[in-house]
Every structure is written in C-alpha cells, then in structure tokens.
C-alpha cells in the first residue's frame, strides 16, 4: 500500500483547537466541570483517515496541550459475527445487509453506553473488532481484551477528548419521499446512461429503505458530537482502489483477509450510502436540511462546527471548506 503523506493535520489541528477552546469557554473554562469534547471524523475508506487520527491523537496528548485522549472507531462497534450472520439471514434478499458496513450492522445500544460512560467520565471499556476473523467477515474481540480508560490506573486523568472515526460518521437519513426520488433517479440513470458506475440503481427500494430507517437511529450518536472533520474525495469511486490496497496490506500482515472479488462485493454493499448521504454531509452534518433528519435542527449554532477536506486520487488535499 502506498505511503499516505499527512497533509491534513495542518488544517485540522487549528480547527480542532479552536473548537476545543469554544467548548471549554462554554463551561466557564473550569476543567472540573467541562465534559469531554467529542470530535467526529468521517473519511472515505482508504483516504488517510487512520494517519490523521493518529496525528491528532498524539498531538493533543503531547505538550503544550497534554490532554487525555481516546479514539473510538465506528468499526469497533460492529455487531458480533453471530449477530451479523443472523441479520443477514433475517434479510436474505437484501445485498446491503449481507456483511458488515451499512447502518443496521452496528451495535447502537453499545455505542450509546460507551458515549454516555465517557461523557460521565466513568471507567469505560473501549470496544475492539477483529476484521480478519472468520476469513475477513470479522468478529468482536472478547470484552476481556478491551482497553479501559478513566480507571484507577489513570491516576485521576479523565478523558477530555474523544475522537470518533468511521466511514459513515455524520451521515443523516432522508425522509421516505426524498429517498424514493433519489433511488428512482439512480435507477433511471442506470437504465439510460451506459457510463453509470454507481450501485444505488441496482438495489431494490425496500433494501435501501431498510438502511435509511436504521440510519435514523444513528442520530442519537451524531447529535452528541461537538465538531466534525470530513475527509471527502473528489470522486467517491476512489474507494474501490483504496479499499483493495487496504486489504492487500491486511492479508500481508495477518495472513488472512478478503480476496479481491470479496473486496469489490464488500464495497458494492455500502457504496449506495455514499451516493445517498454524501450530499448532506457536504452541506453540514449539524445544519438544518429540508427532508433530512436535521430538518428541525436549530437554525443557528451549527456554523463553524465542521471542516471538510477534499482529496484527490493520491489522497492529497485539494480544497479546504469550513462549514
């Protein structure tokens, strides 16, 4: 896998520090009464999200900031393997739910418990997921192996920044009418345009609706975020090549993983969500948008809470947008 050069943190760190300062000021600059700051980080798979998360994590932990930080991945909240198999069997004709990836394949009660525990600064076990288990189908790591933060061994150092990262963090569901319009437009494009390279037009409406309905429940997590960084791609289709590179690296390091055909099918399974939900994310995950689940969100207070970085095929930043 080509080395990913970090040209993103130079934009993200000032944004994050600015939002942190505003968060602390909102609570009277009193560390004892200031809850942790929750940063969402969305990135197309393979766009350099992991490198950026690592840089943000290490920067905040080091002087002069010296902030206790924990990173929580949406991937680590996937359902255990047996529950994922059960979900696939429950919806045998829905290709979007045959493997992990889409909304509905995560453990939302676990996510809420972890968020609540971190916000209350209680001892919290951070879930972990092994993507290489079951020949690449993945499985949750036993809880006995999870790292615990805010425990006695931390000597009173409570987590003050939570970085929550994932490919669909910040996605917002559409109402049913708009969802159907977008699906019908994709089907029409597939039938009329030979150059159509999306996946939304190939799946049934009821399959898309099942994912959209599940996504509505994710607002309970997204609404708890204080800010969001979005690593966007000039072309969402880059994800196919980037995901193949990731899996080759995984196979080389762990000796197991998905084949190239399995990776393509895997990406096909969640690509419709890029087609459906990138639009609202690009406008702003906290912004009131008609016909999305944020339609009734406050008309003010969302400004400045999101940073969008647009990268090219080589993962280099081409544009920076403050939202």
Which CATH number covers residue 134?
3.40.50.300
Q: What is the mean pLDDT of the chain?
A: 94
Domain assignment of residue 100, yes or no: yes
pLDDT in tens, 202-237: 999 999 999 999 999 999 999 999 999 999 999 999
pLDDT in tens, 260-315: 999 998 899 889 999 999 999 999 999 999 999 999 888 889 999 999 999 999 99
What integer pLDDT is reported at residue 136 of this predicted model?
A: 84
Contacts (Cβ under 8 Å, ≥6 apart) of 277: 168, 171, 172, 173, 215
Task: Give the number of domains in the chain.
Answer: 1
pLDDT in tens, 148-188: 999 987 677 899 999 999 999 999 999 999 999 999 999 99
Domain assignment of residue 113, yes or no: yes
pLDDT confidence of 258, banded at 50, 70, 90?
confident
What integer pLDDT is reported at residue 135 of this predicted model?
A: 86
Provide the domain limits for residue 122.
9-171+219-322
Phi/psi for 226 (5° steps) reads -90, -25
| Packing angle, helices 260-283 and 176-192, rounded to 10 | 130
Domain assignment of residue 297, yes or no: yes
Domain assignment of residue 181, yes or no: no
């Amino acid at each position: 896998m080509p080395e990913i050069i970090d040209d993103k943190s130079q934009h993200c760190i000032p944004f994050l520090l600015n939002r942190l300062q505003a968060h602390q000021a909102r609570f009277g600059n009193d560390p004892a009464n200031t809850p942790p700051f929750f940063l969402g980080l969305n990135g197309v798979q393979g766009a350099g999200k992991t490198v950026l998360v690592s840089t943000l994590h290490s920067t905040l932990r080091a002087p002069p900031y010296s902030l206790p930080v924990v990173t929580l991945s949406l991937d680590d909240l996937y359902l255990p393997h047996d529950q994922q198999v059960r979900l696939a069997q429950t919806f045998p004709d829905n290709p979007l739910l045959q493997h992990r990836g889409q909304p509905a394949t995560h453990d939302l009660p676990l996510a809420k418990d972890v968020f609540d525990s971190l916000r209350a600064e209680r001892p919290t076990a951070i879930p972990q997921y092994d993507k290489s288990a079951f020949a690449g189908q993945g499985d949750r790591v036993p809880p006995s192996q999870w790292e615990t933060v805010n425990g006695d061994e931390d000597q009173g150092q409570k987590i003050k920044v939570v970085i929550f990262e994932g490919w669909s963090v910040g996605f917002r569901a559409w109402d049913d009418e708009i969802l159907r319009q977008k699906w019908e437009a994709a089907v029409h494009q597939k039938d009329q345009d030979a150059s159509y390279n999306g996946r939304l037009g190939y799946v049934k409406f009821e399959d898309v609706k099942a994912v959209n309905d599940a996504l509505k429940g994710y607002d309970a997590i997204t609404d708890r975020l204080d800010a969001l960084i979005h690593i966007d791609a000039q072309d969402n289709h880059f994800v196919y090549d980037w995901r193949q590179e990731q899996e080759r690296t995984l196979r080389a390091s762990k000796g197991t993983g998905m084949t190239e055909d399995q990776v393509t099918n895997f990406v096909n399974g969640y690509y419709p969500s890029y087609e459906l939900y990138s639009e609202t994310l690009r406008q702003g995950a906290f912004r009131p948008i008609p016909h999305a689940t944020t339609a009734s969100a406050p008309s003010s207070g969302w400004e400045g809470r999101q940073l969008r970085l647009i990268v090219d095929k080589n993962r280099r930043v081409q544009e920076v947008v403050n939202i």
